[in-house]
Every structure is written in C-alpha cells, then in structure tokens.
Structure 1
C-alpha cells in the first residue's frame, strides 16, 4: 500500500481515469458497430463524422494507437462510400 498522500491521490485518480477511458472506448466501439451495420447511405454519412471524431479523441488521449485510429477511419470511410 502507498505511504504518501500524493501516492494515494494518484491511485484514486488512476482508477477514475481508467474507468473514463474504458467508457469512452466502449462507447466508440458500439458506435463503430452501429455504423458498420448501417444499410442506408444517408444515415451512414451523417453518422460517420461523429464516429471519426470519437476515434480521433481516443487516439489523442492514447487510448488507442494513432495508426489503429487511421486504419479504422479509412475502413469506415470506404464502407460508407461503397454503400
């Protein structure tokens, strides 16, 4: 167990950050699944910018790797364009 006040605070903060990251990551994954299952081109085109924004946010906060974010955005853009 931690001996310093700052270490105890860090433990509390790390847990809060972990839960926030987990929530954002799961929410983004659900949005990606929803976009992939979309059959209507208009609906997919309106959904794409918000999903791309969520992916960029995850990459900016190092929740996912930058290259993974780029690959996801590329694949989703291709899928929407092919509809």
Structure 2
C-alpha cells in the first residue's frame, strides 16, 4: 500500500469510528476494535479492491451491513 493509500485508509477509519460512536454509542476503543476486526477493514487495506478510493460513507455502509448481517451485503447491485 502506498503512503497516499495509507493516508486515505486512516481518514476513512476515523470517519467510520466517529459514526459508530455516534450511532451505536460506542467508545472510541470499541469502535476501532469493531473496525479493525472486520472483513470491511481487511478489504479496505487491499489496494486491489479500490475501497480506499471510495468515500467514507460508502465504506461505512459496507461495515454497517457486515455488522448487521454477519457478512458484507452490497445492496446497490
């Protein structure tokens, strides 16, 4: 992963953690734990998926889907 991609991932993770804290009333540590242990984060770190070029909101929707369904479900397809 390039430094630019790492920077993008860090920003996305920060946004997702903020939203988890607001919507689910989680602590920062709990929110980051959910993110870092998710399939969404694994895919986000893989440059081949292109997810680091997607918006924070798009990635949060994937994470939210994963947390609700136990797997990532893309509803736009």
State TM-score, norm by structure 1: 0.34
More helix by share: 1
State TM-score, norm by structure 2: 0.37
The structure with the largest alpha-carbon Rg is 1
